[in-house]
Structure 1
């Protein structure tokens, strides 16, 4: 077998599957070790040029994803009839290997992996990128316990167009049948499709096997589409009722019946996950326009501020923290002018990314949690608002100094909701 790919010297095989082979490689020009994924079309395929164009388009799209849970893509292209992706080499073990050696995981660890994965999906879905092949072998657990989501864009790139030869083994639909949502099996994929796959993964983390695991491809398709999910409680005792409810919601047959977003899943999974450690941060000076537009919003001009937030995100080169602050401000403006549901969904997505980037104890994270509770109360969901405020009040007492103007706000709002009730 060839041992080089242009500037990349392939050193050892890391793994293989229906969509390709992954090698560790030395980047002779960059002076670093990387991972190279090779994808070769079937012998005699007549539509390689179309596959190549789509693959490179997806690679360019996914290379723009910027999240600590997604390995950075450094290079992509084609070489002597093979497509390749060059990305970070991630230390650790794939989750399927962890399950094989350890069996079902403790509830807290399963919830933590789910929360971290949902954080990544929330970021990708905000960029209009759907994974399409979420499964344990595409989740890498690092030695420090982080979760990395691999192979974004690969399944989307390999989805055949009408009349094309399928690019995957055995003419299978891109994706993996044991984790595939019903709609994807018939060629329809939406962000909620990733949530179904995540539900299959969480079910396996808790029980040791996905909900449907045996039979032909057609039989598995039929089970996902029509059969009730085997009750989780029959396969494992002691799983909290709320976590069982999350699994059931993720595995709803219809996409619209699943949780509204990956950000919502991350919030719900965090209830049973251990607190994420705070990330050390270097002082960063926010973009000056953020404070100006925020003052405009607070002074009673939300519609004008909404437009200016949009202009800032479209025109300025912002760092990731500034983008999140602008998105949060934009959502608050939308909520003020009556677009409450839109604002709530956007703030949940922002929160998932803020937690990952800034750490759970950052004051900006506390602000977003508070605004989500306010919007939930405004929609009439006082129970959900109250549950969020209970946890937030304790965290504000622990994190914010008494001199901070935000100290005690969650407890005060919780008291008002109780009096109304």
Structure 2
């Protein structure tokens, strides 16, 4: 039996690990089943790539084979992304593999309802419930965008509300990592996403950025607040043109009691130009004061499930962050920790720099990440070793693809940790800004990167040759990435 003939069925034992129970539904690309994990007995969701999708049978054999290669690659990428994203609002990966030639992904089963079903049953929503859904969505998106990963198919059907009210993003099937070396799996000329929730740049087949998700999020939030999308979905004709050219009316036109700050936020989320939209972190910051708080009463009218519950009744014990790796410190006579050991930190920096020079940040670079706040607090902002710790931590994060966290550290170095205007300081500042621009390239900020690359070239021209060479080496690497971005999609699209 091969992938073209295998059909999942109740009772099937998948890869010796998951026993299928019942079908949860199928779409154009995948079929999802409820299953029981044999070893532990927990219920999981198992998602199979469909080789029997109707759209495939419209293709000739050569086209069908090519399309299946793309779908298989995209399915593997989804498994990889789920294994990287760590947030309660994103389904975590339990396992992946192939059964009878058909790829599968096993993940957390979200018991609840889709946001589409929830909105159909509860319309209009109380303001507290609408904001609670949006706050939880923003938190999950912020996690994805930090990597950075763009979901590209945000819509009510791809958002779940579990029985406890927690909001969970699902279906990262067409999500895209924004690394410069990320493989493209979509043929140019095909628009990904769902009608009615597409950003203008998706309709124009332009490169997506995290602000693409913000537009789709804005469409959903508008519907949460008003009971209707910003542009009606009924008419087939003209919808794309409305998303491209027509300014939506503020949500307050259709629903009373919407605070001015939320009204303004939604309008900005729906800006036609991506750079005019707020980042999702700003969305979360703006919404937080309007969300339910611990001890608040249940909203009226009641909804089932209640998305305000996780905010009104947080868990008794919140998950504890992973502790930073231990570094020996000097101790007082009472045994209390007093200060970090200077020589040990220098040795740790040397080890981390060796890992980074080899392109393989490991344990030492990871330990530096846990020390950035502490060294700055204990030693201040002018000690060179503080800057060295931050630089090593930032470089390690950049190399492993955590561009959001790396960018924050590079920005901190540029703002506070480089002092003086001598040749060495000017060179170091140029390199840090180039690395910051490299991180922001992953978020689609091309114009800013062009400005930084040009400025670094002018800086290098005024430096002694031995110092200028380091700036030029980094500038050349960033410029090459920028050139690749500006070249746009090649034979395969986003």
Q: Which residue of 2 aligns with 1:6?
A: 15
Name the larger-Rg structure: 2
C-alpha separation in 2, matches of 1:304 and 1:244: 47
The structural deviation recorded for 1:76 is: 2.7
Q: Return closer, same or farther for 1:30/1:149 CA change in 2, 3 Å cut-off.
A: same
Structure 1 residues 162-173: aligned runs within 5 Å: 162=188, 173=191
Q: Which moved more, 1:188-197 or 1:101-110?
A: 101-110
* Shift in Å, 1:268: 0.7
Equivalence map 1:275-290=2 (5 Å)? 275=293, 276=311, 277=314, 279-282=317-320, 285-287=323-325, 288=327, 290=370
C-alpha separation in 2, matches of 1:302 and 1:208: 56
1:90-109 pair list within 5 angstroms: 90-109=110-129
Contiguous gaps of at least 5 residues in structure 2:
1-6, 177-182, 294-310, 328-367, 398-402, 419-428, 437-494
Q: Residue 154 of structure 1 aligns to a residue in which SS?
A: coil
Q: Do residues 228 (structure 1) and 237 (structure 2) align?
A: no
2:50 match: 40
Whether the aligned pair in 2 keeps the contact of 1:11 and 1:23 (CA below 8 Å) is yes
What is the match of residue 251 of structure 1?
Answer: 270
In structure 1, the partner of 2:200 is 182
Shift of 1:210: 1.2
Question: How far apart are residue 311 of structure 1 and its match?
Answer: 2.4
Q: CA deviation at 1:75?
A: 2.2
For the Cα contact (< 8 Å) 2:146–2:404, is it kept in 1? no
Note the 1:78-157 alignment, pairs <5 A.
Answer: 78-80=98-100, 82-156=102-176
Q: In the TM superposition, what whole-angstrom CA distance separates every residue of 1:52-109 from its partner, at most 9, and x where no partner exists? A: 2233134213321111111111223444464432110112221111111111211122
Alignment CA distance shift 1:299-1:196 (3 Å):
same
Alignment partner of 1:295 is 2:314: no
Please, which runs of 5 or more residues in structure 1 have no aligned partner?
167-172, 317-322, 346-421
Q: Distance in 2 between matches of 1:55 and 1:150?
A: 14
Query: Aligned pair 1:335/2:412, yes or no?
Result: no
SS at match of 1:239: coil
Q: Report the TM-score when normalising by structure 1.
A: 0.68
Aligned counterpart for 2:218 among listed residues 160, 184, 199: 199
**Alignment check: 8 A CA contact 1:120 1:149 kept:** yes
Change (3 A) 1:274 1:49: same
Relative to 1, partners in 2 of residues 1:81 and 1:224: Cα closer, same or farther, differing over 3 Å?
A: farther
Once the two structures are TM-superposed, the CA of residue 281 in structure 1 deviates from its matched residue by: 4.7
How far has the Cα of 1:270 moved from its partner? 0.9
* Structure 1 residue 201: Cα displacement: 0.6
Equivalent pairs, count: 327
- Residue 295 of structure 1 deviates from its aligned partner by 2.8
RMSD: 3.3
Spell out, residue by residue over 1:254-299, the C-alpha distance to the aligned partner (whole angstroms, 9 max, x if none): 101100x211111111121113437535586433354576334642
Q: Displacement of 1:125 after TM fit? A: 0.9
Residue 186 of structure 2 aligns to a residue in which SS? Answer: coil
State the 1:158 CA deviation: 9.4
The 1:106–1:77 alpha-carbon spacing in structure 2 relative to 1, beyond 3 Å, is: same
Question: Given the superposition, is the C-alpha separation of residues 185 and 39 from structure 1 closer, same or farther in structure 2, using an over 3 Å criterion?
Answer: farther
Structure 1's 294 and 283: CA in aligned 2 closer, same or farther, altered over 3 A?
Answer: closer
Query: CA distance change for structure 1 residues 158 and 84 in 2, over 3 Å: closer, same or farther?
Result: farther
CA distance in 2, matches of 1:335, 1:160: 40
Instruction: Identify which of 267, 286, 295 aligns with 1:268.
Output: 286
Residues 155 and 20 (structure 1), Cα distance of their counterparts in 2 relative to 1, 3 Å cut? farther
Residue aligning to 2:30: 20
Residues 81 and 227 of structure 1, relative CA distance in 2, 3 Å threshold: farther
1:227-257 CA deviation, whole Å, 9 max, x = no partner?
2213322211221111111110101111011
Query: How big is the shift at 1:185?
Result: 1.8
2:186 aligned residue (128, 145, 160): 160
- Following TM superposition, by how much is the alpha carbon of 1:49 offset from its aligned partner in structure 2, in angstroms? 2.3
Judging changes above 3 Å, is the alpha-carbon distance between structure 1 residues 55 and 306 closer, same or farther for their aligned structure 2 residues? farther
Distance in 1, matches of 2:150 and 2:219, equals 16
TM-score for both structures, normalised by structure 2: 0.59
CA contact (8 A) 1:62 1:129 kept: no
- The answer as to whether partners of 2:155 and 2:216 remain within 8 angstroms in 1 is yes
Mapped contact 1:158–1:174 kept (Cα < 8 A): no
- Structure 2 Cα separation of the partners of residues 222 and 263 of structure 1: 29
